[in-house]
Amino acid sequence: MRKLEGLSASRGIAIGPVFRFVQEESAPIPRYTISEAEAETHWNRLQKAIGKSTHEISLLKDDRSTEQSDILSAQLMMLEDPEFIPQVKRDLFARLQNIETVLADKVGEAAGILRMTGDTYLAERAVDIEDAFERVMKHLLQDAIGRESLPPGSRNPSPANRFIPPGAILVARNLKPSESLFLKDSGVAGVVLEEGGATSHVAILARSWKIPAVMGVRNALDAVVDGVELILDGSEGLVIVNPGNDLINVYRSRSMSDQRHETVSEAERIELIRSPAVTTDGVQVSLRANIALPEEAEAAREEGAAGVGLFRSEFLFLGSEEFPDEETQYEAYLSVVEHMNGAPVIIRTLDAGADKMIGEQLSLKEKNPLLGWRAVRYCLDRRDVFLVQLRAILRASHYGDIRIMFPMISNVEELDAVLDVLEEAKASLARDSLPWKKRLKVGVMIEIPSAAVCADLLAKKVDFMSIGTNDLIQYTMATDRENPKVAHLYDGFNPAVLRLIRQTILAGIKTRTEVSMCGEMAGDPASVFLLMGLGLRNFSMSPALLTPVKELVRRVSLNDAAELAEAAMELSAAREIRKLVQERMKNYE
């Protein structure tokens, strides 16, 4: 038996055999021989892949700085090289091996020759060749994935296209949000990750889908083999490898008693769902739901959400090669509105980038993606993609109370630019005689410290602001929300974070602008107690957390919350604030 410790990411107990998922750094290159007749097909595939790559690079080149543009021009030249490409063709027909093999060898050979010259300029051209053809290789491999002719075992591994036995516990280094989508209907009993934190997107999804998860478990993959029995205690952040029958029985009965406890309180839960979110001294609070997929709207309604406070629209874009077109997006937004029966639905525009890369973001290989080409920064450069999404949201707004929210706004100029594109989208709908809600509310996320500091300036231009604590904590504390090594610094009770939150709430009060919170802090009852005291009245959280938070709201008085907040803001450390909140919570037990 061996115990591994990590971070609690999604509550609950899971017991089951291990399924190890080992990601490769990059897709393996399949190597196989081909017939003479097939060589022609492989040559055509190469030309197609080069065509796609050239198109992508040209698009990127158009809106890049001169320096970046020079690099991209060099890559374009490589792809059109009048000597290199015919050499690849000659090799392909002479060697009769698949095009991926021939290309990889040829690129390696050319780059090697340039590096051997010892000339710095030529060595840099070697990097250009490798970069340019890596893009071509990506297209070749993607094209190959759909082909029956590909030898088994040479596909790019993703947990979604591997058979994972239902009831197994998935152990991996990390899962990208796009890779996590499959978890919902996979029957996976639990998830253990070496990386990740409580507010990483995979943790957020696991909580929504009630899959127990522990993250930040160092060397988890090395500590287990496929099939070995595992106990995962999501509440304690604990993983037990090879526990033995006695311990399994202990945890089984603990899990059953947890479930019984839940069954006992089922009647109470239904009562809570029907009851208003009002404090004992009569203050009404609004509790909305965060969703990532349109089908989660149903769970949100069933759990009594007063609307959708955050629809993470980027999940429509993840996991497929093509971006969803206007019609597909329109249908998705419409289906959420229809489920919510007239309650507000806040659709956040595409927050791609950082851990949720799409399209050309992937090939950019940013040094600091968290500080990079993300969310509205990407959308303002890819106006075409942005306009399609805005048109789809606007069209759906005709049928319900849709509100638009822009993520990662960092300053007023950026907000102005985004609002201009929104006007352009409206004008294009007008030209097409398509209706949209004329009094559509527009808001921003406050998730970058600069936005919180200037919340009063932003507030003048919008109808609402929603505090995204997941990123706000990350950027305020300079702490990657997925890095377990620095997880101790990632704490919303840090005075710096609380001051930014308070500043945003006060800016909202001063400018009469609605302020809400949709970060994970809004789903934590202890935090909600404190935040109500700071003046917050609107919270949005995973549907599964709506009843625990409502239960807290109905138990406390605003008077006590305000006293707590006043005392907490005098303290200088997150630990002291947490202790104080816990003490005050005890008064209500």
Binding-site ranges for ligand PEP (CB under 6 A):
310, 312, 351, 447, 468-471, 518-519
**CB under 5 to 8 A by kind: which of ligand PEP, Mg ion, none does 519 bind?**
ligand PEP
Are the beta carbons of 389 and 349 closer than 8 angstroms?
A: yes
**CB under 5 to 8 A by kind: which of Mg ion, ligand PEP, none does 476 bind?**
none
Q: Using the minimum distance from each CB to Mg ion, give the nearer residue, 348 or 584.
A: 348
Q: What is the DSSP string of 326-355?
A: HHHHHHHHHHHHHHTTTS-EEEEP---BTT
- Other C-beta atoms within 10 Å of 149: how many? 10
**Minimal distance in Å, beta carbon 447 to ligand PEP?**
4
* Whether residue 454 lies in the annotated active site: no
**Minimal distance in Å, beta carbon 312 to Mg ion?**
9
Comparing every residue's Cβ against ligand PEP, the nearest one is 468
Question: 464-467 and 441-446: which strand pairing?
Answer: parallel
**Active-site pick, 201, 339, 379, 454:** 201
What is d(CA 198, CA 487) in angstroms, rounded to the nearest whole number? 9
**Minimal distance in Å, beta carbon 474 to ligand PEP?**
8
Q: Using the minimum distance from each CB to ligand PEP, give the nearer residue, 310 or 536.
A: 310
Handedness of CA 476, 478, 483, 489 (dihedral sign): negative
Q: Using the minimum distance from each CB to ligand PEP, give the nearer residue, 351 or 524.
A: 351
**Minimal distance in Å, beta carbon 471 to ligand PEP?**
3
Q: Using the minimum distance from each CB to ligand PEP, give the nearer residue, 19 or 317.
A: 317
3-class DSSP state for residue 257?
A: helix
What is d(CA 15, CA 232) in angstroms, rounded to the nearest whole number? 6
**CB under 5 to 8 A by kind: which of Mg ion, ligand PEP, none does 16 bind?**
none
Q: Using the minimum distance from each CB to Mg ion, give the nearer residue, 401 or 447.
A: 447
The footprint of Mg ion (CB under 5 A) covers 447, 468, 471
**CB under 5 to 8 A by kind: which of Mg ion, ligand PEP, none does 296 bind?**
none
For residue 366, count CB atoms less than 10 angstroms from its CB and return exposed for 0-12, middle for 13-18, buried for 19 or more.
middle
CA distance to 51, 326, 370, 375, 406, per residue, from 351 (Å):
29, 17, 12, 4, 8
**Minimal distance in Å, beta carbon 507 to ligand PEP?**
18
Closest to 561 in 3D by CA, of 522, 538, 528, 586: 528
**CB under 5 to 8 A by kind: which of ligand PEP, Mg ion, none does 312 bind?**
ligand PEP
Q: Using the minimum distance from each CB to ligand PEP, give the nearer residue, 469 or 494.
A: 469
What are the structure tokens assigned to 88, written together?
């690849």
Comparing every residue's Cβ against Mg ion, the nearest one is 471
**CB under 5 to 8 A by kind: which of ligand PEP, Mg ion, none does 207 bind?**
none
Closest to 222 in 3D by CA, of 194, 248, 190, 188: 194
* H or E segment to which residue 270 belongs: helix 266-274
DSSP 446: E
**Minimal distance in Å, beta carbon 401 to Mg ion?**
23
Handedness of CA 467, 473, 475, 480 (dihedral sign): negative
**Minimal distance in Å, beta carbon 112 to ligand PEP?**
42
Q: What's phi and psi for 505, nearest 5 deg?
A: -60, -45
**Active-site pick, 42, 139, 379, 518:** 518
Q: Using the minimum distance from each CB to Mg ion, give the nearer residue, 75 or 540.
A: 540
CA distance to 3, 263, 564, 576, 584, per residue, from 567 (Å):
39, 38, 5, 11, 11
Question: 2-5 and 514-517: which strand pairing?
Answer: unpaired
* Whether residue 201 lies in the annotated active site: yes
**CB under 5 to 8 A by kind: which of Mg ion, ligand PEP, none does 6 bind?**
none
Task: Give catalytic residue positions.
Answer: 201, 518
